[in-house]
Amino acid sequence: MNWALYAWASWLIPLMGALLTPLLARLGEKIRDYGAVAFSFLGMLMALNLLPLLFEEVKWPLTSQVSWLLIPGAPILSEVKAGILLDPLSIIMANIVAVVSFLIMVYSIGYMRGDPGLTRYWFFMNFFIANMLLLVLADNLILMLVGWEGVGLCSYALIGYWYQDSEEGWLHYWVGEPPEAYPPSHCGMKAFLVTRFGDLLMIAGILIVASLTKTVSFADLMSVGASARANLSWLLPIALILILAGAVGKSAQLPLMEWLPDAMAGPSSVSALIHAATMVKAGVYLVARIFPIALSWSAVIPSTLSFFYVVMWIGALTAFIAASQAVASTELKKVLAYSTVSQIGYMMMALGAGGLTANIIEGYI
């Protein structure tokens, strides 16, 4: 069960580092700075220890659960367990997050040196790493939602990191040019509101799935499509599309894409970690995680294939429109942001097309 220890520790250690940051700050600036990086390093080591599982004879998925929420007498979800799910997808994604996060934390030591708000910076960076790893490793939709909202909170706080909004700083971190420039705090609020809209739809989708299938576990959802109440089974494809809305907001896809270019108002290290390498891939990861669930449901509920069509067309349109906006943009960081949105659109399009292709191939084999 060593793998369970490594999996739990990979996100709990950065969380511990975030909570201890104010205490380390009282001991000295260098202790605070190098301590914050050390916690992300330990989290990375825990994640790297999961890689050997990819080369062993393992019956996937591996799960480790503890009792979390007990609601006696509840018609649905009377018990929700907090669990870790390991399979090749989650292991590879967790290692990408952990390794990239550690490298950017090391870079931050020099890039952010001398900034007066570094205690707040290190807290939210480690808190983000913990929540992102929780999102990736969660074995059910409720626990994933906890990590999902956690990374959204960190994104809001770090986009508006320079919240003073001094006019003297517009050359460094304001978006646009006077008289139409706007400060980082406005950019953070824009990102928060846009992504929260997608998250509300996602929560609605999760509630529909839970009420119809009586479970939120990814492993269990694979086989419950046929057992959903027949007269309401048509709601399951709608629920998947509502969950997709959360992915669309988090990964800055059409029509919720315009927050990401403005998110570059935060420090460059934040843009590199959250808004280029990890958090904006969370939506793609969510679609990949529910991909086999939607595919299995399509065998008994053919209308579920509409989910893959929606994913494919959203990705295709986003890739084209964002690339066109990058061509017309005059700010370097905005060009990079639109390029990120466009590339994520390709990923979404590939997942959507993959679902449709898998269904077609299955029909001929």
For 271-323, the DSSP string reads HHIIIIISGGGHHHHHHHHHHHHHHHHHTT-GGGHHHHHHHHHHHHHHHHHHH
Q: How far apart are CA 90 and CA 218, in angstroms?
A: 12
Per-residue pLDDT averaged across 67-74, rounded? 77
Per-residue pLDDT averaged across 17-43, rounded? 95
**Residue with the larger pLDDT of the pair 299 and 40:** 40
pLDDT at position 71 is 78
Q: How far apart are CA 105 and CA 101, in angstroms?
A: 6
- Mean residue pLDDT across the chain: 87
pLDDT at position 27 is 93
Could you tell me the sign of the dihedral formed by the alpha carbons of 226, 232, 237, 241, in that order?
negative
Nearest to 90 by CA among 149, 125, 146, 134: 134
Q: How far apart are CA 139 and CA 135, in angstroms?
A: 9
Q: State pTM to two decimals.
A: 0.92
Confidence of residue 187 (pLDDT cuts 50, 70, 90): confident
Q: Are 124 and 273 in contact (CB under 8 A)?
A: no
Q: Are 121 and 161 in contact (CB under 8 A)?
A: yes
pLDDT at position 362 is 45
User: What are phi and psi for residue 264, nearest 5 degrees?
Assistant: -70, 0
Scored b (16 or more CB within 10 A) or e, 324-351 reads ebbeebeeebbbbbbbbbbbbbebbbbb
Q: How far apart are CA 18 and CA 354, in angstroms?
A: 39
Confidence of residue 172 (pLDDT cuts 50, 70, 90): low
pLDDT at position 264 is 80
Confidence of residue 80 (pLDDT cuts 50, 70, 90): confident
pLDDT at position 285 is 94
pLDDT at position 165 is 67
- Six-digit token string for 91: 């292991």
Q: How far apart are CA 51 and CA 41, in angstroms?
A: 16
pLDDT at position 232 is 66
Q: How far apart are CA 322 and CA 70, in angstroms?
A: 45
**Residue with the larger pLDDT of the pair 75 and 274:** 274
pLDDT at position 344 is 93
pLDDT at position 361 is 46
Per-residue pLDDT averaged across 100-108, rounded? 95
Q: How far apart are CA 204 and CA 196, in angstroms?
A: 12
pLDDT at position 176 is 62
pLDDT at position 365 is 35
Q: Looking at the predicted structure, is the pLDDT value of residue 360 above 70?
A: no
Confidence of residue 170 (pLDDT cuts 50, 70, 90): low
Q: What angle do CA 77, 80, 83 make, to 5 degrees?
A: 145
Q: Looking at the predicted structure, is the pLDDT value of residue 197 above 70?
A: yes
**Residue with the larger pLDDT of the pair 251 and 275:** 251
Confidence of residue 228 (pLDDT cuts 50, 70, 90): low
Q: How far apart are CA 122 and CA 22, in angstroms?
A: 9
Q: Which range, of 12-21, 35-44, 109-118, averages the lowest pLDDT?
A: 109-118
Q: Dump pLDDT digits (tens) for 263-320.
A: 888 888 888 888 777 889 999 999 999 999 998 888 888 888 899 999 999 999 999 9
What are the residues whose beta carbons fall under 8 Å from the beta carbon of 349, sequence distance 6 or more?
A: 311, 312, 315, 316, 319
**Residue with the larger pLDDT of the pair 57 and 181:** 57
Q: Looking at the predicted structure, is the pLDDT value of residue 114 above 50?
A: yes
Nearest to 259 by CA among 280, 288, 230: 280
What is the percent of the chain with per-residue pLDDT over 70, rounded to a whole number? 91
Q: Looking at the predicted structure, is the pLDDT value of residue 42 above 50?
A: yes
pLDDT at position 235 is 86
**Residue with the larger pLDDT of the pair 280 and 78:** 280
Q: Looking at the predicted structure, is the pLDDT value of residue 25 above 60?
A: yes
Per-residue pLDDT averaged across 361-365, rounded? 40
- Six-digit token string for 112: 């952010």
What residue type is assigned to position 163 of the chain?
Y
What is the percent of the chain with per-residue pLDDT over 90, rounded to a whole number? 55
